[in-house]
Each structure stands twice: as C-alpha cells, then as structure tokens.
Amino acid sequence: MIEIDHVSQVFQTAGRRGHLALSDISLEIGEGAFVSILGPSGCGKSTLLYIVGGFVKPTQGAATIKGKPIAGPGPDRGPVFQEFALFPWKTVLGNVMYGPLQQGIRRAEAEDQSRRLIEMVGLKGFENFYPKELSGGMKQRVALARTLAYHPSVLLMDEPFGALDAHTRTRLQNDLLNIWERDRKTVLFVTHSVEEAVFLSDTVVVMTRSPGRIKQIVNIDLPRPRRRAELLLDGHYQKYIVDIEHLIDDTSEEVAQP
C-alpha cells in the first residue's frame, strides 16, 4: 500500500555542511499492517514518517501510496504527534469536528460523528473542555479522535505516548489496539521503545543510528488480540524483545567504535 523507494534525506544545518538523516531507505508497507519504526534517537525515524505524511519532501527518492506519489499532506494519511498539537482555541469537540468540517460534511452530521468518536476514545463528558484543562493522556486521546474523524487510510503516529507517564502509556497502548482492531487501518508507528514496538505491531523495522538505514525487518508472529498480562509471561514475546534489543545495541555500538 505504501512504497518507500530509495529515500534519502539531507538537512541543511547552520554550518554549510548538510546532515544526512536518512540513507537509502526502501520499504513496503502492506494494507492493514501495523508497522513500527524503531531506532535510537536521531536515526531519522520521525523524518521518515514525515516524508510519508507529505510534510517533508525527500532530497532523494520518493514515496507512494496506492501507486500515487506523495506530494503533500492529505486526509488519507492522518498524523498523531507526540506533542499532541491540539488547537488550543478550540474545545475537544471543536478539535475533533475540524477534519469532518474541512471535508465539507454538514455541521450536525459532523458533530454527531465527533461525539461518537469522543465517546469511543473514552472522553465522554469532556466535549466542551479546552485542551489546557486536560491531562496528557486525555489530550492524546483527543488527538487520536481528531485524526480518526477524517477517516484516514493510514495512521502516522510519531512517538505518540512518549510524553506520557508509564501507566497512562500502557493504558493508551491497549486502547489504541482496541480501536485499531475495529477497522484495521494501516499504521506506521514510530517509537524508541522496543517493548512498545513488539507489543503493538505485526512488523518492526529496526533502524541504525544516524545516518538512518534499515538494519533489519522483524516480523512479529504473535496472536491477536494482544493482552499485556498474557504477553508479559509469554516466552516468544520475551524472545522478540531480547533479540531486537540486541540488534539495537549492536547498532549503537557500530558507530561508537573509532
């Protein structure tokens, strides 16, 4: 469904030299797959996400979705950011209704849809609250609802739970999977947590540190629906984590050697 073809990204830094963030990434993402992009800080994983989202143009190579080249952002690829990026001047309902209204859906219908989504993410009763009045976890739920509201075929999630405390994070991971199970959208999920990647995904793409390259693609063959309590005690799950952590360690050490 999504094809990333020999994409490289060079950023201009303050000194005249360019910084190679991504180096020759080629990747295919199938429809309905939950794919994590995993790697140490600075490996360019967010950049890759932004390229698929159309927010950043690759300096080399191209990305396509369903055969069509990605030229800019669009409602077929909905982002969810770590910083939430909610519109502070709008209420929860206002934020969620934004997408549908942009699509031209009539206000009454948009409000109806949005209220149902808000209930689905567990925030019923908070429709008229402003983002500043919500906790981090609640804000991220709103962000998710806002993105789902315009029915993207792909969800692009950039370390969405990174700013949350551990407990909220695990709750949201569960809720995300529950929501995802309903219509099985394609998901591209950026994270630096091995555990999170293995728990959530069908496939984990392990990247090296800067300049980012794909080190290995690991298929996660664990049954769904995934239950945290069960998996934590499951040997296969544990092995995946150990193996991938090993991969990452290797990756980090690679560049550390003189």
Amino acid at 49: L
Shortest approach of other proteins to residue 115 CB, angstroms?
Answer: 18
**SS3 labels along 101-147:** HHCCCCHHHHHHHHHHHHHHCCCCCCCCCCHHHCCHHHHHHHHHHHH
**Per rule CB under 8 A, is residue 151 in the interface with other proteins?**
no
* 90 near other proteins, judged by CB under 8 A: yes
Rounded to 5 degrees, what are φ and ψ at 150?
-100, 20
Binding mask 96-125 for other proteins (x = CB under 8 A): --xx--xx----------------------
Answer yes or no whether residue 186 interacts with other proteins by CB under 8 A.
Answer: no
CA nearest to 52, candidates 37, 24, 73, 31: 73
| CA dist list (Å): 1 to 68, 69, 95, 172, 219 | 10, 12, 29, 26, 17
d(CA 106, CA 48): 35
Question: Under the criterion CB under 8 A, does residue 87 sit at the interface with other proteins?
Answer: yes
Q: For residue 81, state whether it binds other proteins (rule: CB under 8 A).
A: yes
Q: Which of 78, 137, 160, 212 binds other proteins (CB under 8 A)?
A: 78
Verify cis geometry, omega within 30 degrees of 0, for the bond prior to 258. no
Options 6-14, 63-71, 115-123, 127-135: segment touching other proteins (CB under 8 A): 127-135
Q: Give whichever of 34 and 150 is closer to other proteins, judged by the CB atom.
A: 150
CB 35 within 8 A of CB 189: yes
Residue 136 binding other proteins, by CB under 8 A: no
The binding track of 210-229 with respect to other proteins, each residue x by CB under 8 A or -, is --------------------
Place of tokens 């999630």: 157
Q: Should residue 85 be labelled a site residue for other proteins when binding is judged by CB under 8 A?
A: yes
Q: Which is nearer to other proteins, 133 or 249 (CB)?
A: 133
Residues 135 and 164: beta-carbon distance below 8 Å? no
Stretch that binds other proteins, among 29-37, 66-74, 191-199, 248-256 (CB under 8 A): 66-74
Rounded to 10 degrees, the C-alpha dihedral 67/70/74/78 comes to 80
Binding piece for other proteins, criterion CB under 8 A, among 5-13, 60-68, 76-84, 114-122: 76-84
Torsion of CA 3, 26, 191, 64, to 10 degrees: -20
CA distance 140 to 163: 10
**Residue from 39, 44, 79, 212 in contact with other proteins (CB under 8 A):** 79
Q: Can you read off the two tokens belonging to residue 99?
A: 């997408």
Q: Could you tell me the smallest distance in angstroms from the CB atom of residue 159 to other proteins?
A: 12
Nearest distance in Å: CB 83, other proteins: 6
Binding stretches for other proteins (CB under 8 A): 16, 53, 55, 72-75, 77-79, 81, 83, 85, 87-91, 98-99, 102-103, 130-132, 146-147, 150, 152
